[in-house]
Structure 1
Amino acid sequence: MIGARVGMKIALITSWATDISGGSGTALFFQSLLRGLQGRGYDLDVIAPNFDVSDYFGVTMQRIAFNARLPYDARIRGADVVIGLDWDGYGLDPSQRPPMIASSHAVYGDILQWESGEVATMVKAQAYFDRLMMHNAEVITIGSAYAADRIAALYDVDRAKIEVIHHGMIAQEWLKLVDAEPKRPHDHPIILSVGKMYPRKRTDVLLRAVPLLLDKYPALEVRIAGDGLMWDEYHRTAAELGVMDHVTFLGHVSDDAAFAREWRMADVFCHPSSQETFGYVYLEAMSIGKPIVAVRAGAAPEVIADAGRLAEPENPAALAAELDFFLGNERARAEYGARGEQRAAMFTHDKMIDGYDRAIARAVSGRKRG
């Protein structure tokens, strides 16, 4: 196998951010895939413009223009295999390009149900490109069976064309610092939530659960790390609920030591997202033994299994009940934290790259048969 890899040239394409310090799960995947394939002996040509993704509308237009130029990129014509993240590469003519893998992450057709207004228009356009990419590629890879089923249903793609490859990840600096960060005693329960503020992440459900917990935990603090399109709306929601004294909006925490400190202080991690195609944040929480409350939606049941508590989605009362299970029970927190560490050990970086080894071989052999 090693001999087959050495010298094989792969064009790895993404028009999304590649810097993991921005908090993007897609960027973390990209870096994990890049380093893993390089470690296996592949020759990688990275085609990544690294646009500023803070302006969602502007970057979407830049990504479309970038894809329009891709057919003229000599690095693609000189590659043995192309791997395009999400819809990057949708316009490449199969008769003029090498075998291609569509490495899907967002599944824009699935995201669309949570969006509205101008954002929905942008997402709908990307869902169209997503569909073209899935039909164009020889092989599709995705991080969960949930997402594979959604791709097949939404885009009318043969399910057998899709390879489910659970994610693994490279060691991030902040993760190394969590154990080094002293556990500071605190006299009140702390819930941590981490994620981009997109509608599908459902941070509002967590905010609506807070008032339901205050009678039992009057000093409760919810700390929310992340920024995004819903920043102002979530502040308004917290104010309307009268819980601003119990909620700290941290924004994006770029300092590794500060981010590690947030994880170390937290008693419980909560991520009530209704749509994750894998959810690196679950893997991060499990790897440091943090008890998780999530919901029975998206890839969460598949990734977390019995290593966390899963509430009914879109239900603040159900979420509050699962949070209460941990907040009032130190023994349960320790038990589920240990389960999480065991579960996280199943999602290794090596296993992920093994999956991409197989997908690359399948794409090449599929083109030869064709």
Structure 2
Amino acid sequence: MNIIFCIDEFPPVFWGGLGTYAREMTGRLSRRHVRPAVLSRNTGNLPLSDLWNGIPVYRPDVLKTNDIIPYLVPSGVESWNFPDQQFFMETIQYNQLGAYHYIRTFHQAKKHSFQLVVSHDWASATAGLIIRENLDIPFIFHFHSHEQGRMENPSQIITDIERMAAEKADAIITVSHAMKNALVKLGFQEEKIHVVHNGVDPDSFSPDLFTVDSISEFRSQTGVHDSPMILYVGRLTPVKGIENLIRAMPEIAREIPDVKLVVLGVGELENRLRSMTEELGLSDSIIFTCQHVSEQDLKMHYAACDCAVFPSKYEAFGIVCTEAMAMAKPVVAGVLGTSGFYEQVTIHGDEQNGFHVNPHSPEDIAKHLCILLKDPDMRKKFGLAGRKRIEKDFTWEVAADKTAAIYHQVHNPKQP
């Protein structure tokens, strides 16, 4: 089966978890008789058309439209700042150009035929909708998150794009039961929604990757040395709960004076978080690494930490948690509201691999981090349990099997 795979991030572009998803899933789908041709955003320095590991990729160049943007932006976007208006118009434009490419060049020239088109989140939804309408092929829409959950002030037009894609889709795939429940509450058709958890490659993210000496050297270079190390990985944005983690640190430092929190991420809150750290007198306890790092460096951060914390107020899935678990690290995760962490982090019995916390409560975050940091046997036990959970339920192989099965079922609903 040949499919058009519309996604906003594709290697070498990685802005978040979507790029990782695209990298890990496309090749695995190909091995399951689902051959994707990718449509993705061009960041300006990438070829228009190329092959990535044998997979055709088309990244249309977008035209400069700054002078006419005020005349083109739809209602609701005209109040955005100009860079955001630019981004929105470039998104719509590359969707249209990419859809045209696949409709005309491939389908009508008979060089290729497609049985299915899939889009991932709002930024590639319009391409899928255009292709669906013009080629009259089934359409699947993937929700990796949704606007009304990830934004404090959700955009009405992005919300409308998501709803239109969901209504027109023959099937919806989302990343957690928590996300499915959120979509159902918003009125989406429950019978159309399938849950496929994201995953991780347990051979790539493995606690055996690094030697004790290399971890010790990294800790020294980072400024952690022999201190207990808490790791936060994620965007520095309000929905990730990072401000309450900083507010939790005075209590943690009182209980464990030599503790170090390593913050790995970028985002609009960086300056505020640095100011909070100084105001709270925590400059010696919090280490900021506010930059994108290589995947190898990311793995080393996981390997070096004693525990990982993800106090998100909203998290459709949360692949950073999956990665930490694969590295055999205990995790403390925020689980109020829509949270895929709830499905990853088990808090009872022999399979317990971490704690659930209220992401709005610095006290709750501090309490459970202190419990972990004071008990090395618990950390080891939880870490090993998390690793086993990953190997059983949260690999990319499992995700690819389930996704390919849904694609084939939508393409051929009469097939058992």
Please tell me the TM-score bracket, short chain as reference. 0.7 to 0.9
Residue 271 of structure 2: which of 203, 228, 232 is its match? 232
**What residue is the counterpart of 1:24 in the other structure?**
16
Instruction: Quote the residue 1:301 is aligned against.
Output: 342
Encode CA deviations 1:113-172: one digit per residue, 9 max, x unaligned: x34xxxx5xx44322211111111111001100001112222x21111001011123468
1 CA distance for matches of 2:12 and 2:241? 22
Question: Is residue 89 from structure 1 mapped to residue 89 from structure 2 by the alignment?
Answer: no
What SS is found at the alignment partner of 2:38? strand
**Does the CA-based 8 Å contact 1:177-1:260 persist in structure 2?**
no
8 Å Cα contact 2:138/2:170 also seen in 1:
yes
Could you tell me which residue of structure 1 aligns to residue 222 of structure 2?
A: none
Pair 1:335 & 2:371 matched: no
Amino acid at match of 2:280: L
CA distance in 2, matches of 1:124, 1:71: 24
| Pick aligned residue for 2:189 from 158, 169, 175 | 158
RCO (CA 8 Å, sep 6+): is it higher in 1 or 2? 1
Query: Corresponding residue for 1:355?
Result: 402
Does residue 108 (structure 1) correspond to residue 143 (structure 2)? The answer is no
Secondary structure of 1:274's aligned partner: coil
In structure 2, how many angstroms separate the alpha carbons of the residues matched to 1:20 and 1:191?
A: 30
| Structure 1 pair 105–72 and aligned structure 2 pair: CA distance change class (3 A) | same
The Cα shift of 1:361 comes to: 2.3
**How many pairs does the alignment contain?**
350
**Structure 1: which 5+ runs fail to align?**
1-7
2:258 to 196, 214, 219: 219
Aligned 1:37-186 pairs, distance under 5 A: 37-51=29-43, 58-75=86-103, 77=107, 78-87=113-122, 88-90=124-126, 91-92=129-130, 94-97=132-135, 98-112=137-151, 114-115=152-153, 120=154, 123-154=155-186, 156-170=187-201, 178-180=209-211, 182=213, 183-184=215-216, 186=225
1:303 Cα deviation after fit: 1.6
**3-state SS of paired residue (2:125):** coil
Q: Which stretch shows the higher mean deviation, 85-94 or 205-214? A: 85-94
Q: For 1:262-287, what per-residue CA distance to the aligned partner results, in whole angstroms no more than 9, with x for missing partners?
A: 22221111110121111111110111
Counterpart amino acid of residue 5 in structure 2? L
Percent sequence identity is: 22
Shift of 1:94: 4.4
* TM-score, length basis structure 1: 0.86
Distance 1:323 1:255 in 2: 27
Deviation readout 1:264-313 (Å, 9 max, x if unpaired): 22111111012111111111011111010112231111122232111122
User: Aligned partners of 1:30, 1:181: CA distance in 2, in Å?
Assistant: 33
The answer to whether structure 1 residue 321 and structure 2 residue 367 are counterparts is yes
Deviations 1:8-54 (A, max 9, x none): 1110011x2223774611111111221111122322211112437xx
1:12 corresponds, among 1, 5, 25, to: 5
Partner of 1:4: none
Which residues of 2 match residues 260-271 of structure 1 at below 5 A?
A: 260-271=299-310
Moved more, 95-104 or 282-291: 95-104
Distance 1:57 1:30, change over 3 A: farther
What's the C-alpha RMSD, in Å, of the aligned pairs?
2.5
Structure 1 residues 256 and 357 mapped into 2: Cα distance closer, same or farther (>3 Å)?
Answer: closer
Sort the Cα spacing of 1:253 and 1:94 in 2 relative to 1 into closer, same or farther, 3 A: closer
Assess, with a 3 A threshold, how the Cα gap between structure 1 residues 233 and 10 changes in structure 2: closer, same or farther: same
The 1-side partners of 2:370 and 2:138 are apart by: 51
Change in CA separation of 1:31 and 1:334 when aligned onto 2, cut-off 3 Å: same
CA separation in 2, counterparts of 1:81 and 1:289?
38
Flag the structure with larger Rg.
2
Residue 329 (structure 1) shift = 0.6
User: Is the contact made by 2:312 and 2:335 (CA closer than 8 Å) also made in structure 1?
Assistant: no
Shift of 1:189: 1.2
Greater CA drift, 249-258 or 290-299: 249-258
Give 1:89 shift. Answer: 3.0
In structure 2, the gaps of 5 or more residues are: 45-82, 108-112, 220-224, 348-352
Sort the Cα spacing of 1:173 and 1:58 in 2 relative to 1 into closer, same or farther, 3 A.
farther
**Counterpart amino acid of residue 333 in structure 2:** A
How far the C-alpha of 1:355 sits from its partner, in A, is 1.2
1:207 aligns with 2:246: yes
Q: 1:164 to 1:258 in 2, by over 3 A?
A: closer
2:289 is aligned to 250
Query: What is the rounded CA distance, in whole Å, between the counterparts of 1:74 and 1:23 in structure 2?
Result: 25
- Pick closer, same or farther for the CA change 1:50–1:233 going to 2, 3 Å: farther
Residue 25 (structure 2) aligns with: 33
